[in-house]
Structure 1
Amino acid sequence: MAPAAPVPVPVPGPATPERPDILLIVSDDHGYADLSLRGSPDARTPHLDRLAASGTVFENGYVSAPICSPSRAGLIAGAHQQRWGAHWFDTSAFPPASRLVLPEILGAAGYRTGYFGKVHYGPEGPGDRACPDRHGFDRSLYGLAGQSFGRLHYLHHSSEAVAEYGEAAAVHGVQPLYEDGRETSCARHLTPELAQRAMDFMGAGADADDAGAGDAGAGEGAAGPRQPFFCMVAFNAVHNFAWQLPQDELEARSLPAHDDFDPEAARYLDWYDGAISPHLEHGRAYYLAQLEIMDREIGRMLDHLEATGRRESTLVVYLTDNGGSTCNYGSNLPLEGTKYSLFEGGIRVPYIVSWPGTVPAGRTAQGLVSSLDLLPTFAAAAGAPLPEGLVLDGRDLRPAWEDPGPEAGHPALFFDTGFQSAVRTPRWKLRRVDPDAPQRAHLLEVEHTDIGAGTTLVPIGESCDESAAADASARHPEVLAELTALHEAWRAEMAAG
């Protein structure tokens, strides 16, 4: 058994401007273009716009994988998931026990920690280390999407619902939820439920906490100062199957109900083909409905922070787990590609950071930043010591929000799913796809997703064109050689763990 990582010395203390509360919001498959602040003609996201106006939007914000499970594993660790062999769905896994993760580091520094939402790092089951209550979260409400094809149902979470759905329960994410590790049920639309649980956890505000009137999750007595919190909200919105909406939401949008899969009606893949783009009638409208509901709940959380006097001392980050899924009617324009691919549309995501008085407001930054940067950024903001010898691939975001120029972020970002790889620098993008990979054919057939083939080198800092026609390999062999060498060195480092 690998030795446990050294545990940081706890540094308890209240939230202050130097030691903020932290709210991390991670959505699911949110398209890069689907923000009204980007001029979308039909996506209405006033509260994400409001968050952006109070902070900095990173135009070149990336996640470490084009699919959810390895991307989420990298985020929670602040390190490339390839270090423990997590590349694609079939190899993804939560970081090993020898590596402390984000809530463990912040918890040891005196933060109370809460997780509310989707868990999907791999094929995790109840009681595994991947469960939030097993890796440093004090309070939690979650569903295990690794048990259900990466999905959580938006409406049905109980043992009774599982029995009613029968064999179809797994593919639709119909399952009980877990509250602090104990099985529970939920009969409410999951998006507002997760937001409400997060607000209950964040508490009633400094005055109420100091008077001993805080919520039960505050973890403080009447005489002591409130602890700062780290709250992670992992919405399953806007993942397919987005038609799973409450009746009042359907009626408000004049949308028809759409039945979940009936296992007696047809083969699952035949049914699934009619449940994604371009065959699902009203598909974009269902997707936008889930997006608008999530945006509304983000607004409620921001309102809660303001009403409780915490907003000025709270670092809020919003991003999604991978690029928008065009088969679920998300849009990544003008970026090429979608979830599953290493085109920009698969890995470049909405990425917003807001911390009043510290992060510049109303700014757009161009530096290359990553979801891996969140752990070192939060640890630095919290004054949380890092374990000796802990290898991180992320870096503190502060230089990138202080300087909005393209050179302020990472000099290079690396991506590798095993059958496709990419290197992104401020100016160039090198992408390789094995044309014979079985995953490529599967994605094309099942998800209607073309991830490309072969090698392309494009000046991505100048345009979003990643087509074969834009390939500059022949014109710039020196750049091709340089980025190839960078990727080979990185890959060797990952293999070493």
Structure 2
Amino acid sequence: MRKRMLSHLAPSLMLLLCVPSPALAEQATKPNIIFIMADDLGPGWVDFDGSNAEVNTPNLERLAKSGMVFTQAYAAASVCSPTRAACITGMSPAQIGLTTHIPGIAGNERPAPKGGPRDAESLTHLPLEMPSYARELKKQGYTTAFIGKWHLAGEGSTKSKDGIVDSRYHPEHFGFDSNIGGCAYGQPRSWFDPYRNATIKNRKKGEYLTDRLGDEAVAFIEKNRDAPFHLSLWLYQVHTPIKAPKELVKKNGGNAFLAMLESMDGAIGKVLDALDATGTLENTMIVFYSDNGGDKPTKWLADKKGSLLEGGIRVPMAVSWPGVIEEGTHCDTAVNSMDFFPTFVHAAGGSTREIPQLEGLDLRPLFEGGDSLDRDALFWHYPHNRPDVRYFMGGAVLEGDWKLYEGYGTIPDALFNLKKDPMEKMNLLKENPERADQLRRKLHDWRRRVTARMPPSKSELKSSHPKGNSQ
């Protein structure tokens, strides 16, 4: 019947019907890209890894079932700011020079153990000259938005009245057309309206921050449905302070942490529903990820946030991309924070050939069913001490199943076989000295390549502090 009706139309009108508008043509060839990042969320606290029956995250499970779960996803650092910088730039924290969380109270970094190495220098903001995937996506015609936690714009945020320390380093200066929530804060000043955050307009007293960020994400999707868009939705969940709406806390048996997880999942559900309602879901890549291991430990991994053991750097990750990623799949290949930059830019039709400093790899071969990447090893560099929570400086290298931890003079070096010992209980350094030496050489070579800043030597400290005061 439809063919018969079309045959009676004028040729000129038939031509108009057959030729898509430029906006629709561009939308059909360039996927929308949504990057959702949780804060301080380790594996074991989402439904799609099936680790904790108390967790209620059905929307994340829905996302994961529609695409691929990554079982060996790593953060570039064990704390937040360096990982966030690595995601934006495609460069390691060591190469950027931002290797620890930007302190909330300026000049109050924790002292080293008595007689041990002192912290290396670390930047207190992300430099404007660094690459940004948002800038590259704009070159490809994308409308871009940042919603949520940034934590890359200056130290001393907890003493500011509104989270603004230096607005020159806010998301809008890194290629994002709009910014809601992104400032120097590493955690919310308030989870409830009034938010005391100058990058979010107060709307309704008592409104929960995550609900608001979810609404803003929906508004962005609805407004930009007709052309390629990118949204970085970097939620403040589940960073301390652990607070959630009373009704959700009550629903979760008084457990505010589980209530926060459910609230986060609700915001993600809003995004999925908005994509479905606007007809953009089928042409959208959605990434879910976390900035570091959990402050609340993962039962089946050693340690937690702040540590270079697996519990500090392994994170949950799922990616959905209809038509590219097969539903209900999983990938065991190790991936990390720097990989998002080339993945997003290449998926959008851009090139990274003129950005040689990138350390990430395009993940699309894995999305399409491949089982490996052209990468020799993953590296970490954390030249900082946090003795108040028993975490000390060190570096690490992961090659296949083998992981070497180098203690930088604070705690003993260790070699683990993660396949046989995922909890990192057995130090195999003495039994495998040749392998340890090989991995140590790789770690040292990588540090030299990226000009990593190391803890100052005693002679450097002495020349900087002639009276012997190294603080």
The verdict on a shared fold, with TM-score over 0.5 as the criterion, is: yes
Which residue is 1:227 aligned to?
A: 227
Residue 153 of structure 2 is aligned to residue 117 of structure 1: no
Q: Which residue pairs with 1:268 in the alignment?
A: none
| Partner of residue 406, structure 2 | 432
CA distance in 1, matches of 2:349, 2:267: 30
Indicate how the Cα distance of structure 1 residues 459 and 127 shifts in structure 2: closer, same or farther if over 3 A, else same: same
Q: Judge conservation of contact 2:395–2:408 (CA < 8 Å) in 1.
A: no
1:435 shift after superposition? 5.7
Structure-2 separation of matches of 1:355 and 1:88: 33
Question: What residue identity is the alignment partner of 2:219?
Answer: D
Aligned to 1:41: 53
Paired AA for residue 60 in structure 1 = Q
Letter in 1 for 2:63: L
Matches within 5 A, 1:3-402: 15-39=26-50, 40-89=52-101, 91-121=122-152, 123=154, 125-144=164-183, 146-147=184-185, 150-156=186-192, 158=194, 175-179=196-200, 187=205, 188-203=207-222, 215=223, 218=224, 226-242=226-242, 244-253=243-252, 255=254, 285-325=255-295, 330-386=296-352, 388-402=354-368
**CA separation of 1:481/1:251 partners in 2, compared to 1, >3 Å: closer, same or farther?**
closer
Question: 2:171 touches 2:182 (CA, 8 Å); kept in 1?
Answer: no
CA distance in 2, matches of 1:359, 1:308: 21
Mapped to 1, the partners of 2:131 and 2:353 lie a distance apart of 8
1:109 Cα deviation from its structure 2 partner: 1.2
Work out whether residues 63 and 318 of structure 2, in 8 Å CA contact, stay in contact via their aligned partners in 1. Answer: yes
Whether contact under 8 Å (1:157, 1:177) holds in the other structure is no
Seq. identity, %: 31
> Is the 8 Å Cα contact of residues 35 and 43 (structure 1) preserved in structure 2?
yes
Moved more, 362-371 or 129-138: 129-138
Q: 2:85 & 2:204 partners in 1: Cα distance? A: 26
Q: Deviations over 1:375-395 (max 9, x none)?
A: 100001000233724411001
- Kept after mapping to 2: 8 A contact 1:33/1:333: yes
Which moves more between the two structures, 382-391 or 408-417? Answer: 382-391
Q: Is the 8 A contact 2:73 2:314 kept in 1?
A: yes
CA distance in 1, matches of 2:445, 2:45: 36
Shift in Å, 1:30? 1.0
CA distance in 2, matches of 1:140, 1:341: 31
**1:305-339 CA deviation, whole Å, 9 max, x = no partner?**
111111110000000110011xxxx2312111100
Instruction: Within 5 Å, give how 1:467-482 maps onto structure 2.
Output: 467=425, 470-482=426-438
1:413 to 378, 388, 392: 378
* Local SS of the residue matching 1:96: coil
1:416-457 deviations in Å (ceiling 9; x for gaps): 111211101121011122464xxxxxxxxxxxxxxxx31111
Cα deviation digits, residues 236-269 of structure 1 (max 9, x gap): 0111111x222333444453xxxxxxxxxxxxxx
Shift >6 Å, 4+ stretches: none
Q: Distance in 2 between matches of 1:417 and 1:86?
A: 10
Q: 2:447 matched to which residue of 1?
A: 491
Aligned-partner SS, 1:232: strand
SS in 1 for 2:181: strand
- Contact kept? 2:94, 2:452, Cα under 8 Å: no
Query: Counterpart of 2:169 in 1: which secondary structure?
Result: coil
> What amino acid maps onto 1:379 in structure 2?
V
Give CA-to-partner distance per residue, 1:357-377, whole Å, 9 cap, x none: 101221111111111111100
Any idea what the Cα deviations from partners look like across 1:182-240, whole Å, max 9, x if unmatched? Answer: x766632010110110110111xxxxxxxxxxx3xx3xxxxxx9320000101101111
Rounded to whole Å, the distance in 2 between the matches of 1:61 and 1:17 is 30
The alignment partner of 2:144 has SS state of strand
Structure 1 position 400, deviation (Å)? 2.3
Aligned-pair CA distance for 1:299: 1.3
- Distance in 2 between the 1:399 and 1:43 partners? 32
Amino acid at match of 2:234: A
Would the alpha carbon gap of residues 185 and 410 (structure 1) be closer, same or farther in structure 2, given more than 3 Å must change?
farther
Q: Secondary structure in 2 aligned to 1:315? A: strand
Q: TM-score, normalised by structure 1?
A: 0.74
In the alignment, the residues of structure 2 paired with residue 471 and residue 425 of structure 1 have an alpha-carbon distance, to the nearest angstrom, of: 16
Partner of 1:341, secondary structure, is coil
Residue 157 of structure 1: how far off its partner (Å):
5.0
Q: 2:286, 2:46 → 1: CA distance?
A: 17
Range with greater deviation from structure 2 (23-32 or 94-103): 94-103
Root mean square deviation, CA, Å: 2.4
Residues in 1 aligned to 2:80 and 2:345: alpha-carbon distance in whole angstroms: 23
How many residue pairs end up in the alignment?
Answer: 394
Q: Which moved more, 1:369-378 or 1:125-134?
A: 125-134
Query: Alignment partner of 1:384: what SS?
Result: coil
Report deviation, 1:463: 3.1
Rounded to whole Å, the distance in 2 between the matches of 1:127 and 1:12 is 37
Report the Cα offset of residue 135 of structure 1. Answer: 1.5
Please give the secondary structure, in 2, of the residue aligned with 1:495. coil
1:372 alignment partner, SS class: helix
Q: 1:43 to 1:250 in 2, by over 3 A?
A: closer
For residues 157 and 119 of structure 1, do their structure 2 counterparts lie closer, same or farther at Cα, with a shift above 3 Å needed?
farther
In structure 2, relative to structure 1, the CA distance for the partners of 1:12 and 1:417 (3 Å cut) is farther
